[in-house]
């Protein structure tokens, strides 16, 4: 990575006893980029955050910030701000003293402390709380104070470890917007770690997925959502989750066959006559109306979740439960509360992945067929 990049990890590995937590994790983030690293709980995100910040040492690998190797540096010398999952605030301190604490540890002059505390408090809309004790404010306000304390130091990189976990949806939504504005205002790199399926799409310049200690490539949010490179990325992003099902590639006849559809397929290299794969399709890409080139699928409705603007429809198909998502008005106007649906799947909406590696296969899918 060039010196202009804010963060680069090369082959970071970490084990605790016999448990392999991180397995040769490598990625880089550009200058002033908000990179979101997502993944399920216990995927190694917090361990990676602690290694980057210097609270844990890796078993192998190197960490670079702005081109400088900081792998052996102490936490205090890394110039990295850290916001943990838990508030970790001092309940007997005022909001002001909690925010100022990291600066006072660094022996920053008093006037500079006041200026930086006032700036970050204003950005996070907590200036009116400064004289209150932490045990006198709400959970959402405590989260803002924790964010302010982690971001108050002037750093070249900030690591935020699932900072909004446990907050209600409306509060999380507002804080996501505030964090995005704050990152642009500070004009520095943010590494934001989360298990939430929507935060990466709302926040990120770049998205990567950590799953079972393994790291996907960094991609744009649009590509990560519409054209995920791995099964892990497909499952990690978006709500409702992408439908994933088993299928078989018939190399002799150039077909991919699942219990739901059969499609013509062209591969850059010949596959075995019968190769197990995974196929995936987004819930909103399964159509409620006929479309040229699409195949019709019969399904029985098991559950409809009316979310107001959208309806999430869980249907029973020959391959088990499949999720469909469409505007509530479209579902109600076409189908009402009927127990049976006709659905359509178009080949351009299908992704094919190798079963063993979970990586996308660079195939071209032609028309769907009844063969």
Residue-wise pLDDT for 180-200, tens only, equals: 888 988 889 999 999 999 999
Q: In which residue are the tokens 């979970």 written? A: 358
Name the residue among 82, 63, 358, 27 with its Cα closest to residue 212.
358
Q: What is the pLDDT of residues 197-217, one digit of tens each?
A: 999 999 999 999 998 888 988
Rounded to whole angstroms, how far apart are CA atoms 131 and 331?
52
Please give the CATH architecture assigned to the domain spanning 7-236.
3-Layer(aba) Sandwich (3.40)
Q: In which residue are the tokens 């309806």 written? A: 311
Q: Using the predicted structure, report yes or no on whether residue 2 has a pLDDT greater than 50.
A: no
Q: Using the predicted structure, report yes or no on whether residue 333 has a pLDDT greater than 80.
A: no
Supply the mean pLDDT for the chain: 88
CB 285 within 8 A of CB 225: no
Please give the CATH architecture assigned to the domain spanning 245-369.
Beta Barrel (2.40)
Rounded to whole angstroms, how far apart are CA atoms 33 and 29?
6
pLDDT of residue 315: 93
Ranges of each domain in the chain? 7-236, 245-369
pLDDT of residue 139: 84
Q: Using the predicted structure, report yes or no on whether residue 152 has a pLDDT greater than 80.
A: yes
Name the residue among 114, 112, 190 with its Cα closest to residue 151.
190
Burial of 61 per CB tally in 10 Å (0-12, 13-18, 19+): middle
Name the residue among 304, 353, 347, 306 with its Cα closest to residue 328.
306
Highest mean pLDDT among 56-70, 83-97, 151-165, 256-270: 56-70
pLDDT of residue 105: 87
* pTM, full prediction: 0.87
Burial of 122 per CB tally in 10 Å (0-12, 13-18, 19+): exposed
> Which helix (H) or strand (E) covers residue 315, if one does?
strand 310-317
CB 357 within 8 A of CB 212: no
**DSSP E strands, 43-118:** 60-65, 68-69, 80-83
Higher pLDDT, 369 or 280: 280
With a CB cutoff of 8 Å and minimum separation 6, the contacts of 350 are 256, 261, 263, 279, 280, 281, 365
Average pLDDT over residues 132-161: 90
With a CB cutoff of 8 Å and minimum separation 6, the contacts of 122 are none
Name the residue among 12, 19, 16 with its Cα closest to residue 49.
12
Length of the chain (residues) = 371
Name the residue among 115, 146, 112, 113 with its Cα closest to residue 129.
146
pLDDT confidence band for 335 (50 / 70 / 90): low
pLDDT confidence band for 370 (50 / 70 / 90): low
Burial of 357 per CB tally in 10 Å (0-12, 13-18, 19+): exposed
pLDDT confidence band for 125 (50 / 70 / 90): confident
Whole-number percent of the chain with pLDDT over 70 = 93
Q: Using the predicted structure, report yes or no on whether residue 1 has a pLDDT greater than 50.
A: no
């Amino acid at each position: 990575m060039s010196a202009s990049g804010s963060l680069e990890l090369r082959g970071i590995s970490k084990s605790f006893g016999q448990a392999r937590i991180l397995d040769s994790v490598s990625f880089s983030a550009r200058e002033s980029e908000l990179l979101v690293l997502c993944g399920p709980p216990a995927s190694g995100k917090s361990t990676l955050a602690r290694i980057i910040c210097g609270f844990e040492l890796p078993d192998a690998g190197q960490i670079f910030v702005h081109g400088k190797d900081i792998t052996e540096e102490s936490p205090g010398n890394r110039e990295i701000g850290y916001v943990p999952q838990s508030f970790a605030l001092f309940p007997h301190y005022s909001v002001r003293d909690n925010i100022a604490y990291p600066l006072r540890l660094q022996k920053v002059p008093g006037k500079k402390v006041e200026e930086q505390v006032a700036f970050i408090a204003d950005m996070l809309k907590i200036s009116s709380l400064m004289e209150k004790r932490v045990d006198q404010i709400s959970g959402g306000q405590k989260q803002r104070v924790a964010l302010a304390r982690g971001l108050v130091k002037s750093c070249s990189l900030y690591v935020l470890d699932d900072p909004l976990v446990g907050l209600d949806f409306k509060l999380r939504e507002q804080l996501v917007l505030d964090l995005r504005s704050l990152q642009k205002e500070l004009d520095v790199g943010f590494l934001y770690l989360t298990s939430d399926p929507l935060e990466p799409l709302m926040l990120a310049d770049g998205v990567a997925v950590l799953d079972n200690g393994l790291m996907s490539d960094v991609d744009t949010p649009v590509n990560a959502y519409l054209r995920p490179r791995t099964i892990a990325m497909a499952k990690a992003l978006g709500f409702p989750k992408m439908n994933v099902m088993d299928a078989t590639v018939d190399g002799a006849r150039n077909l991919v066959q699942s219990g739901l559809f059969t499609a013509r397929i062209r591969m850059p290299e010949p596959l075995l006559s019968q190769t197990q794969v995974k196929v995936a399709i987004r819930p909103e890409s399964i159509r409620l109306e006929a479309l040229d080139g699409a195949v019709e699928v019969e399904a029985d409705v098991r559950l409809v979740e009316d979310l107001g603007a959208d309806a999430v429809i869980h249907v029973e198909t020959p391959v088990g439960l499949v999720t469909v998502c469409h505007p509530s008005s479209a579902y109600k106007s076409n189908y009402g509360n009927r127990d049976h649906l006709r659905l359509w799947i178009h080949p351009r909406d299908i992704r094919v992945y190798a079963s063993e590696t979970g990586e996308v296969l660079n195939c071209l899918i032609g028309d769907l067929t009844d063969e």
